[in-house]
Amino acid sequence: MYKLLLCLRYLRTRWIALASIVSVTLGVATLIVVNSVMDGFTTQMKERMHGILSDIVLETRSNTGIAQPNWYEERIRNRLGDSVAGVTTVVTLPAMMTFQHNGNSHTQQVNLIGIDQKTYASVSDFSKYLLHPENRDQLDFLLKEGGYAPDRERMQPSGWEYRRPIARYRKLVNDRVRDGRTAEEEQAAEKSRYEALQQQIQREQLQSNTAVTESQSTNADSTDPSAPANSTTPAAPSTPDDAATQTDSSVNSLMAGPGIVIPNKAQQVLQFDPEKEQRTGIVLGISLGSIRGREPDGTVQDFFFLRPGDDVQVTFPNAGTPPRGIDETFTVVDFYESKMSEYDSTFAFVPIEKLQHSRGMIDPRSGIGAVTSIQIKLKPGVDLNTARDALRDEFPPTHEFVEVRSWQETQGPLLAAVQLETTILNILLFMIIAVAGFGILATFFMIVVEKTRDIGILKSLGATGTGIATIFLGYGVLLGTVGAGVGLLCGLLFVWKINDIARVVEWITGREVFDPTVYYFDTIPTIIHPFMLCWVTLGAILIAVLASVLPSIRAARMHPVEALRYE
């Protein structure tokens, strides 16, 4: 009873001890904030990564890929049975993407991914990261009329709405020559020039026919080495008409004369018309086609230098040995925004058939296309590692040259780095609390010394050593609880209002605390785990109690007489 009373009284009269507990409060609050934010980041990131990556990937490094994907798929389904939610085949390639912007050619490295658009969405959250609502339902690699992310001002217009006028404009620009004449005028001019040239040639030939000997003699006189060539020269005049008609017809077929009309029409039929046609569709990671920046008023925006409707050239290796680069032109049909910068800045999705076809991965006899990886989605609740181990057993590295990896292993280093960061931060912050613990230790020793006489008095009144130790231990528990409790409240409050706080700090310092151009989140993500709150709070209390153990023991051991004599 007296213990409780004295504890409370000490707490009320010893504010200095409360000061020593402030560091515990700060430590606890910081730990809670840091853990909540780190957890928020990690969870968001994991969620996204898991969404982007399928659960398990079977991958080969072979350039030609797995030749019998159906057989593999069958084995996977046999092995995993009911736990498979979806399987898809994929061809992934390192590639180089080139596009023109502002008259400059830009080249970027991409991860070219050939996907089966019918099944790919079943193994990952691919579709939900696409911008066009129809593509989110089902991607068909066809350019849409418009309606790409209408909330993004900087992206409008997109799709055909964008491609048509651009193509028309390009054609206009291409058709226009430097002095401002149109193509028809130019063609007419060219034609008349050519005709003039023809007439001149004919005239010259007539002249040379009459003066052939003369010219031959001069030729032979002037240049000796040209003499053997002269043996053919007489043959040429033998069929002057032939040559003339030959040239004439060839010229006609190209551009001259009235014959120009027919081939031109045929050309129009065969020629690719960007106003009405698109190339094979490609879905680009959004950072491949945009940069994040700020409007003059400070709002964060993506600025697009590529839009749905633009054409890009992609160069990738074919399946030959040694591989050779092949070019293909694709039309951007959508963007992919997973908000994971690593993916958004490298991924480019194209139809798998296109890749298999251009790379020569299709078996000419069976017509089956090879793939470089098979992605598997498990049903919810199925243990990832068990399924992975089963597949590793099914496809042992000793027999098959495929690698079986779970999504966590694929992103293992990144996840491990984040985990390590969190752990280290926790250790460091707990060290702060431990430092606070030493502060408490020192303060408590001082209080015990200060209270020496009181301890003697209590002993003379019959208090036991344990009773006196309990006073100081209880004091430590009380202080620890108060400190950790206040820290807990502060931490929760901070986490709850973290975005407001960030804004206030921004306003005061004029500097952005949380730059959305960097992080892709517009608000700081936080997650509060009750378990984390528990261990942080209890840990802090424990440290405070541990710090008060030594002074308590000292108080308990104090000799009553010496304590009473203490002045």
Partner 1 sequence: MNNSDSLRHPPIPAPHMLDTKPSVPYRVVHPEESEQRRTTHSGLPSVANPMLTATGLAKAYRKHQSSVPVLKGVDFSAERGKVTAIIGQSGSGKSTLLHLLGTLDRPDEGEIAFDGQRIDCLPSRQRDQFRNNQLGMIFQFYHLLPELTLLENVLAPAMIGNGILSYWRNRRQIVERAKHLIELVGLSHRMKHRPRELSGGEMQRTAIARALVTNPSLLLADEPTGNLDQETGRTILQLLRVLNREHGLTIVMVTHDESIAQQCDSIVRLKDGRVERLTAPILRTTSV
With CB under 8 A as the contact rule, the residue among 453, 497, 517, 534 that binds partner 1 is 453
Torsion of CA 207, 212, 213, 218, to 10 degrees: 90
With CB under 8 A as the contact rule, the residue among 2, 305, 445, 494 that binds partner 1 is 2
Going from the C-alpha of 555 to that of each of 282, 299, 551, the distances in angstroms are: 77, 63, 6
Going from the C-alpha of 520 to that of each of 241, 283, 293, the distances in angstroms are: 74, 20, 11
Q: C-alpha angle with apex 376: 375 to 377, nearest 5 degrees? A: 130
CA distance 301 to 152: 8
Decide: is 428 part of the binding site for partner 1 (CB under 8 A).
Answer: no
Q: How far is the CB of 408 from partner 1 (least distance, A)?
A: 53
With CB under 8 A as the contact rule, the residue among 144, 307, 377, 459 that binds partner 1 is 459
Let me know: does 24 contact 444? Beta carbons within 8 Å: no
Helix (H/G/I), strand (E/B), else coil: 348: strand
| Phi, psi dihedrals of residue 293, rounded to the nearest 5° | -160, -165
Q: How far is the CB of 427 from partner 1 (least distance, A)?
A: 39
Q: How far is the CB of 6 from partner 1 (least distance, A)?
A: 7
Nearer to partner 1, 146 or 467 (CB): 467
- CB under 8 A: which stretch of 4-12, 289-297, 432-440, 526-534 binds partner 1? 4-12
Let me know: does 380 contact 397? Beta carbons within 8 Å: no
Decide: is 258 part of the binding site for partner 1 (CB under 8 A).
Answer: no
Q: Which residue type is seen at 151?
A: D
Q: How far is the CB of 461 from partner 1 (least distance, A)?
A: 5
Q: How far is the CB of 550 from partner 1 (least distance, A)?
A: 21
With CB under 8 A as the contact rule, the residue among 240, 257, 465, 516 that binds partner 1 is 465
- CB under 8 A: which stretch of 297-305, 392-400, 462-470, 512-520 binds partner 1? 462-470
Helix (H/G/I), strand (E/B), else coil: 119: coil
Nearer to partner 1, 5 or 254 (CB): 5
Helix (H/G/I), strand (E/B), else coil: 329: strand
Q: How many residues does the chain have?
A: 567
Mask for 502-541, x = binds partner 1 (CB under 8 A): ----------------------------------------
Decide: is 460 part of the binding site for partner 1 (CB under 8 A).
Answer: yes
With CB under 8 A as the contact rule, the residue among 114, 456, 480, 539 that binds partner 1 is 456
Nearer to partner 1, 90 or 463 (CB): 463
β-bridge partners, 58: 374, 404
Q: Total number of residues binding partner 1 (CB under 8 A)?
A: 25
For 525, half-sphere exposure in the C-beta direction (CA atoms, 13 angstrom radius) is 14
Largest Cα span, the chain: 149
Decide: is 10 part of the binding site for partner 1 (CB under 8 A).
Answer: yes
Decide: is 560 part of the binding site for partner 1 (CB under 8 A).
Answer: yes
Decide: is 97 part of the binding site for partner 1 (CB under 8 A).
Answer: no
Nearer to partner 1, 12 or 178 (CB): 12
Q: How far is the CB of 471 from partner 1 (least distance, A)?
A: 11
Let me know: does 342 contact 49? Beta carbons within 8 Å: no
β-bridge partners, 292: 302
With CB under 8 A as the contact rule, the residue among 58, 131, 390, 463 that binds partner 1 is 463
Q: How far is the CB of 25 from partner 1 (least distance, A)?
A: 24
Decide: is 200 part of the binding site for partner 1 (CB under 8 A).
Answer: no
With CB under 8 A as the contact rule, the residue among 107, 386, 464, 517 that binds partner 1 is 464
Q: How far is the CB of 460 from partner 1 (least distance, A)?
A: 5
Going from the C-alpha of 491 to that of each of 83, 99, 221, 509, 537, the distances in angstroms are: 42, 50, 104, 22, 11
Identify the DSSP state of 411: T
Identify the DSSP state of 370: P
Decide: is 461 part of the binding site for partner 1 (CB under 8 A).
Answer: yes
Nearer to partner 1, 348 or 479 (CB): 479
465-496 helix and 15-52 helix, angle to the nearest 10 degrees: 50
For 328, half-sphere exposure in the C-beta direction (CA atoms, 13 angstrom radius) is 21
Decide: is 13 part of the binding site for partner 1 (CB under 8 A).
Answer: yes
Nearer to partner 1, 284 or 558 (CB): 558
Q: How far is the CB of 459 from partner 1 (least distance, A)?
A: 7
With CB under 8 A as the contact rule, the residue among 61, 176, 203, 559 that binds partner 1 is 559
Nearer to partner 1, 1 or 173 (CB): 1
Let me know: does 175 contact 315? Beta carbons within 8 Å: no
With CB under 8 A as the contact rule, the residue among 34, 288, 333, 458 that binds partner 1 is 458
Determine if the peptide bond prior to 322 is cis (ω within 30°).
yes
Nearer to partner 1, 13 or 238 (CB): 13
Scanning the structure block, which residue is given the tokens 């700081």?
524
CA distance 135 to 219: 73
Closest CA to 29 of 552, 333, 461, 483: 483
Decide: is 173 part of the binding site for partner 1 (CB under 8 A).
Answer: no
Question: What residues make contact with partner 1 under the rule CB under 8 A?
Answer: 1-2, 4-6, 9-10, 13, 453-454, 456-465, 467, 559-561, 564
